[in-house]
Amino acid sequence: MAHDWNKDRDKIIGLGEHSLHKSYYPELQEKIDKLESSQRNFSTLINSISDAILIHDENGSILSLNKRAKKIFNIVEPDLNAVTIFDITSPKQNTDNFKAIWSDILNHNTAVFEWIGLQQKTNTEIPLQMSLSPTTWDNKHVIAAVIRDFTERKEFEQKLILAKDKAEEASRLKTEFLHNVSHEVRTPVNGIMGFSELLGKENLSQEKRLKYIDIVNQSCHQLLHIIDDILEISRLETKQTQVNIETFDLNALLKEIYSIFELQRKKNQISFSLHLNSKNENLFISTDKTKLSSIINNLVGNAFKFTNSGFIELGYNILDDQLELYISDSGVGIAKDRIKSIFGRFEQEEKEISLKAGGLGLGLSISLANAKLLNGDLSVTSEKGVGSTFYLRLPFTQNQKENDNMPIPQDIKEKALKTILIAEDEEINFLYIEALLSDTSKFEIWHAKNGQLAIELFKEKPNIDLVLMDLKMPVVNGFEATSKIKEINKEVPIIALSAYSTEEDKKKSFKSGCDDFLSKPFEKEEFYEILNKHLSEHTSKNDHEMNGA
C-alpha cells in the first residue's frame, strides 16, 4: 500500500497552523484588544470633558471634535468637513488679529485668549476662552483648540459691574444726601439760634418780637420734619414699620389737610382747590390714617414747593374697588427720563430748583413705600414746564362702617382746679409743660424726675386727676411706672409722652395701661385737646360714681 504523502503534508501544515494559532495569534489579538480598549477609554475621556476640544489642520478645517464642541457650536457629523475655525468665529472678533494668532501658532507657539464664538445655524454669539497649541495628529501637523464657555462667567462679571455701579451710585447719593442733611439742618438751627439770641435784646418792639418768634417756630417745624424723614426712611429700610388699620372719614381728613395748606396758599397767591365726592358727605375708609396723611401731606407739600404760580388741586375718584387720590399742579414738571428715578431715595428732579426749595429728596421714596404697605401704588404723569399729577391708588370697599368720633369737650378754662402729676426727667420738657398748664388755668402740679418717684408720689396722693408720663426715665421707666399706678387706681387717666413715636412704642404704652399717647415735640393745641378730653372723661366718671353712691 502506497504511503499517502498528501495526508502527511496536511498534518504537517495543520500542525503548523495549530502551532501558529497557539504561539502567535493570541498575543496579537491581545494587543489589538488593548488598543481598541485604549481608544474607547480615550474617546470616553475626551467626550466627558466639560471643555470643547477641536483638532484643526493648518487651514483651519475641523478634523475631529468632542461632544462638548458639537453642542457649543451646534455642529453635526455631516457638516464636519465643511466647517472651519473661521466659520465658528463671530464677526465681532478682530479677524486680522485672530489670523495673526493662528499664523503664530503654526510657528509652534501657543496662545490663550478670550474669543467670541458663533453657533452654527442659529448664529448665536458665545463668549469663550480659547487655548491654541500645535501638535501632531495622524502624522500631520495640526492645531488643537481647547475652548471653555465663558457665558456664566460673563453674566456674573456683568452682574458684578452693575452691582459695583449701583454701589458707587448709592455711595454718591448718600454722600450727597449727607451734605444736603448738613445744609438742611444748619439752616433751621441757624434760624433758631440767631433769632433766639435776638429775642433777648432790650427795647425790642412787639412787632419784631412776634416776627422773630414766628421764625423760630417755623425753623423748629422745619428741623422736626427733617428728623422725621430720616427716622422714617430708617424704619422702612429695617422693615420696622407696621400698618395700623382704622376706619375714618376721608373727607374730614382731606378738609383738615386742605385747611393747613390754605394758609400757605394765601402767602403764595396760588389757586388751591379741594374736590370731594359730592355724592357722599362722609366717605369712611379703612386704612392706616397716619400713613395716608403722611403721603398726602408730602405730595401737597411738594406741589407747593415746586409751583410758583397757577393752581394746585387735591381730590379723589372712586374707581370700582379702588380709591384714587390725586394731587395736580401747574409747577415746574418732571422730565420724562427722570419720572422713574424721582421715587428713588435721595433723588431730586433738578438740583438747582431743589436746593432753592429745600428738602432731603426722601419724601417721594417714603410715600411710595408707605403706599405699598397699604397695598396701593403711587404714580405720576408730568410734562416739563407744564405741571404734574400724582395718583395714589388704594383698595376700597363701599359702605364701610363709620367710626365713633368723640366730640371735643369744653375748654379747660371752665374746669375746676385739677391735680396733675408730671413724670419727666428732662427739666426743659417739664418747664414747657408747666408753662402750658399755667397759661390755661390753675393746676396743682407735682413733678417726679423718675418712674419710682412717680409711683411713690401717687401712693401719697391717690386723688391725682391726671398723669403725664414720660416713657424713657431713669430708675423705673414710664411703662413700668404706668402699670404700678394703674394697680393703685385703674381709673386715673395716664397720657404717655415720648420722643419715640413708632407704632410699637404706642402699642407698648397702651398695653402697660396708658390711655393716650402724645409724641414729642407736640403743639400746644394738641396738648390742650388731649388734656381737656381726659380730664372731662375723668370728671364725668367721678360724678357718676358719686351720684350712684
Mean pLDDT of 137-165: 87
> In this prediction, what percent of the chain has a pLDDT beyond 70?
80
Mean pLDDT of 201-212: 86
* pLDDT for residue 506 is more than 70: yes
What are the φ/ψ torsions at residue 31 (nearest 5 degrees)? -65, -40
* pLDDT for residue 17 is more than 70: no
Instruction: Please check whether residue 165 is in contact with residue 142, taking contact to mean a CB–CB distance below 8 angstroms.
Output: no
- Render pLDDT for 103-121 as a digit per residue (tens, 0 to 9): 888 887 888 888 888 888 8
* pLDDT for residue 22 is more than 80: no
* pLDDT for residue 401 is more than 50: no
Per CATH, which fold does 50-149 belong to?
Answer: Beta-Lactamase (3.30.450)
For strands 494-498 and 466-470, give the pairing.
parallel
- Render pLDDT for 281-333 as a digit per residue (tens, 0 to 9): 678 899 988 889 889 988 998 888 888 888 999 999 988 788 999 999 998 88
- Is-cis flag, bond preceding 395, omega within 30? no
Instruction: Note the pLDDT of residue 517.
Output: 92
Number of H helices, E strands in the chain: 15, 17
Q: What is the pTM of this model?
A: 0.46
* pLDDT for residue 386 is more than 80: yes
* pLDDT for residue 205 is more than 90: no
Residue 115: Cβ-neighbour burial (10 angstroms; 0-12, 13-18, 19+)? buried
- Render pLDDT for 443-485 as a digit per residue (tens, 0 to 9): 888 999 999 999 999 999 888 999 999 998 999 999 999 999 9
* Of 452 and 337, the one with more pLDDT: 452
> In this prediction, what percent of the chain has a pLDDT beyond 90?
15
Number of Cα atoms under 13 Å in the Cβ half of residue 494: 29
Rounded Cα–Cα distance for residues 531 and 133 (Å): 90
Residue 108: name the closest of 85, 129, 133 by CA. 133
* pLDDT for residue 547 is more than 50: no
Instruction: Please check whether residue 422 is in contact with residue 414, taking contact to mean a CB–CB distance below 8 angstroms.
Output: no
Query: Please, what's the b/e burial string for 273-302 (b: 16 or more CB within 10 A of its CB; e: otherwise)?
Result: ebebeeeeeebbbebbbebbebbbbbbbbb
Residues 412-548, CATH architecture: 3-Layer(aba) Sandwich (3.40)
How many C-beta atoms lie closer than 10 Å to residue 514's C-beta?
25
Integer angstrom CA distances of residue 118 from 18, 125, 381: 60, 5, 45
Instruction: Note the pLDDT of residue 12.
Output: 45
Q: pLDDT-derived band of residue 345, with 50, 70 and 90 as boundaries?
A: low
Residue 478: name the closest of 495, 493, 456, 492 by CA. 495
Instruction: Note the pLDDT of residue 278.
Output: 56
Mean pLDDT taken over the chain: 79
Instruction: Note the pLDDT of residue 50.
Output: 76
Instruction: Please check whether residue 423 is in contact with residue 469, taking contact to mean a CB–CB distance below 8 angstroms.
Output: yes
| Bridge partners of residue 496, in order along the sequence | 469, 517
Instruction: Note the pLDDT of residue 343.
Output: 78
Residues 6+ apart with CB under 8 A from 347: 173, 341, 361, 364, 365
Element (H, E) at 221: helix 206-237
Residue 153 cell numbers, joined: 462667567
Amino acid at 490: K
Range picked from 90-94, 145-149, 213-217, 394-398 for highest mean pLDDT: 145-149
Instruction: Note the pLDDT of residue 266.
Output: 64
Rounded Cα–Cα distance for residues 450 and 496 (Å): 14
Amino acid at 85: I
Which of the four CATH numbers 1.10.760.10, 1.10.287.130, 3.40.190.10, 3.30.70.20 does domain 160-237 have?
1.10.287.130
How many C-beta atoms lie closer than 10 Å to residue 57's C-beta?
15
* pLDDT for residue 145 is more than 60: yes
Residues 246-395, CATH architecture: 2-Layer Sandwich (3.30)
How many C-beta atoms lie closer than 10 Å to residue 49's C-beta?
13
